[in-house]
Homo-oligomer: A and B are copies of this chain.
Amino acid sequence: MAFEVHFRSATCGELTAKDIDREVTLSGWVNRRRDHGGLIFLDLRDRYGLTQVICDPERSREAHQIASEVRSEYVVQVKGLVKHRLPGTENTQLPTGEIEIVAQSIEILNYSRTTPFPINSDAIQVDEPLRLKYRYLDLRRPHMRDNIILRHRIVKEMRDYLDERGFLEIETPILMKSTPEGARDYLVPSRLYEGEFYALPQSPQQLKQLLMVAGLDRYFQIARCFRDEDQRADRQPEFTQLDVEMAFVSEEDVMGLIEDMLIKLIEKTTKKRIKQRPFPHLSFKEAMDRYGTDHPDLRFDLPLVEISDLAAAGTFGVFKSALSASGMVKGLKVPGGASYTRKEVDEITEFARTLGAKGLVQLAIQEGGTIKSPLTKFMAPEEVQAIVERLEGQPGDLLLFVADSAKVANDVLFRLRVKMAERLKQIDPEEMALCWVVDFPLFHYDEDLQRYDAEHNPFSGMDEAHIERLDSNPLDIRAKQYDIICNGFEVGGGSVRINVAELQRKVFSLMKMSDEQIQEQFGHMLEAFEYGAPPHGGIALGVDRLVMLFADEDNIREVIAFPKTQSAQDLLMGAPALVDDKQLNELHLQVRPQAQPKGERV
């Protein structure tokens, strides 16, 4: 600690044998009190650690008396002498475990009621709503404290890394303009302009591109972003991203920078091993083929294998009907799975059904080589054998197949693959498997919207050789886009951008925006591109998710100081909440009256 404060001369984490006989003042919380043989022992806690305080009535009757009154979580100040603990009573688990403070005086700085859950142990499971309501107590618990400290360190390292390389952190506004494209905006009514609204940014995408047009060359920001979407387990209404943009770059430049940064982050803030360096690059197609997802977990292998061509042989109805409906048959090899009990296989099948599969086709290769599978009834032995060989099946293996639309087959097998890896204990929690997914298509066709939609966002650039396909075959354009995946989570994505107004306009047109809509929503971008917009590109990394992975948590709420619930409530402050009519009046708003029977409007 570089400077001392009024109420203490040392923290509860720093005193060791080198401090013996020092007179010190500590302040902190009573983590535990024990009365033993006429003495009182207090474990005093602060953010930095625990220090044992011993109160001996023969040394100070008054200190002993006060110590007898303190309870857990009282805030106390202790003055005393640093002494060696008695031989045999040292605690080697604790940095301060060799010493104790012999109290000369104790002052109670504040009292505490009995806390709604214990603070001094992470072992006890506490209901999350209770933890969120009393977040200020939850954050006292060691693992939450450690997560908050880790988050600080990760973000500090990000900033240092980028600053050293000439990036400027530039703040962009939170009060922005609503853009109906993309996710749902949070709106902020304007008081000065009746009926008008600001919107909270879903990302600073446009402004960071404008900063490149402004010539600022290298931008970053730890940026708060907002999406009013129905929440999933790992989403929050507001989230934090490391937002980066650079001028005069290719895709490789951005990926190279971020890869190097992530490696240094992991090395500096965790003890985790990086599975493969440089990070492998998978094309979008390879990722979908081999893992059924564009965010594969590469900590384990278990590849998916398509057998649609082989499945066309024989007369197996399940395969036939999937293929005739333009579907696919795809499988997964479970090493050693041939010995699973009927019950185990049923559980796996049931899991696949909850993911949308109609069922799983099984093929067990018994130790002797005998094949047990419904396929043997509908296919010739050599046709079955070809399938086994395609999956490199060995005696003892279980092969599982899904026959369905490509979407369902991939989605089921992607999740089944992870499930089986867990079951097979193929996941090393200390390993970080990172990869880049590249070669995305620029567009997909959105059947609901009946139009092309940008795979990443409408600002992504495209392979120069494919520009002419905008007019002929937009689905066949390679985007200059890259996603970074860690342990099966998409932790970031970006692109080299369009910087030519005409090209940008064409992309918007393909998304069925009218000229008026384009002008109204993105006119300022198109205009900016006409004043010397440099080639540029960037990326955004999800800070909450990265910290979650670094901290071995499985929920981003564990790495956010004051998160909202999955239903977007703040249980500590009580938000959202009703507001005064006066506030609404000033904003020219009223809450929409409930639908009333006709003729009885209120």
Contact = CB atoms under 8 A, between A and B. Distances in A.
Interface string A279-294: 0000000000000000
A557 to B, nearest CB: 12
Contacts of A250: 5-7
A318 interface: no
B577 A177 contact: yes
A216 interface: yes
A156 B163 contact: yes
A568 B217 contact: no
A73 to B, nearest CB: 4
Nearest to A220: B152
Interface in A556-582: 560-562, 564, 567-570, 572-580
B249 A562 contact: no
Contact of A533 (B110, B139, B164, B189): B110
A172 B562 contact: yes
A237 B240 CA distance: 21
A564 B47 CA distance: 41
A327 B27 CA distance: 50
Interface in A569-602: 569-570, 572-580, 583, 585-592, 601
A33 interface: no
A587 B110 CA distance: 44
A579 B179 CA distance: 9
A217 B238 CA distance: 25
A143 to B, nearest CB: 13
A3 B254 CA distance: 11
A74 B531 CA distance: 8
A172 B575 CA distance: 14
Interface stretch (A59-67, A204-212, A437-445, A463-471): A204-212
Nearest to A586: B184
A550 interface: no
20 contacts: A1-B165, A5-B249, A6-B252, A7-B249, A29-B534, A73-B532, A110-B532, A110-B534, A111-B530, A134-B531, A135-B210, A139-B216, A145-B215, A176-B573, A187-B587, A194-B591, A196-B578, A588-B591, A588-B592, A589-B589
